[in-house]
Structure 1
């Protein structure tokens, strides 16, 4: 078992988070190669609602981002989960799951309506995410786009992520 602490990011963590995300997604088959740029763009746009990291002996070994999404019916308080990154030598130890669970708990405490994610249904179902026919994300296979209501609401319509998700280059500090 790997010992680590979870905490919110600070401005001093930006370079380590960028390096972690780049390394974690370097060999991921589903990677666009822009994940670090997306997080930087969310931060620059002040849309990185929640940015948590896992740290071991001063080393950032995991990170998760949550940012606001827009829903067609105008529902407020919904967020997108991702990207999630764990250092390659620490994967499989539950760090990503711990980050996701901590982030969802903080969203609940803040009164969020819910959260959406684009990812592997086999992985994200363990957190309560499920395919919701009323919510859709254009251009993605429906079975990979899932939602988790945090307040019982059931919004409807197309979901739009921040334009930061179109980022292609990483902004520098």
Structure 2
């Protein structure tokens, strides 16, 4: 498996993959592929990676900037991460998340947030933290991780309300 940056020619394959990955997900609004397109079109995809096996895109992950109390503090949101249904549970999502977090650290990001299952994302260092809030979401599913840069002390956890790019609310 190879993980690489998305290319313009990957758009249709990513759309189909994300649609398939979330088709039967119980908490999906079935608009995740539209969200990726909207973020891309707005120039808001900071990191967009694909996992490729034998020339076929089998996974995708996206990261975009978030604000905390309306201020850019070097934080990013992970959303969505998707793997072809037949290949879920085989480590592709894990590899994408790890590669994406490494890229964020290389960019000098301070932290990353996501909405997801605490049992799954805890293995990547994510945890609920009451200092960061996300409106309308049970706090146990809004997870954060500080990103320590090489040779530096981990920054302090900020506090405030986190907001994603407007595409998140426009797409629903």
The TM-score bracket by the shorter chain reads over 0.9
Partner of 2:88: 91
Q: Shift of the alpha carbon at 1:166?
A: 2.6
Partner of 1:166: 169
Structure 1 runs not aligned, ≥5 long? none
Count of aligned pairs between the two proteins: 166
TM-score, with structure 2 as normaliser: 0.93
TM-score, with structure 1 as normaliser: 0.92
Map residues 1-173 of structure 1 onto 2, 5 A cutoff.
Answer: 4-72=1-69, 74-151=71-148, 152-153=154-155, 154-168=157-171
Structure 2 runs not aligned, ≥5 long? 149-153
- CA distance in structure 2 between the partners assigned to 1:73 and 1:67 by the alignment: 15
Q: CA RMSD in A?
A: 1.3
- CA distance in structure 2 between the partners assigned to 1:84 and 1:90 by the alignment: 13
SS in 1 for 2:13: helix
- CA distance in structure 2 between the partners assigned to 1:75 and 1:142 by the alignment: 21
Report the CA distance shift for 1:61/1:167 in structure 2 as closer, same or farther (over 3 A).
farther
Q: Shift of the alpha carbon at 1:146?
A: 0.8
SS in 2 for 1:53: strand
Q: Map Cα deviations across residues 53-108 of structure 1 (whole Å, 9 max, x no partner).
A: 10111111000000000101735210000101000111110100100000001101
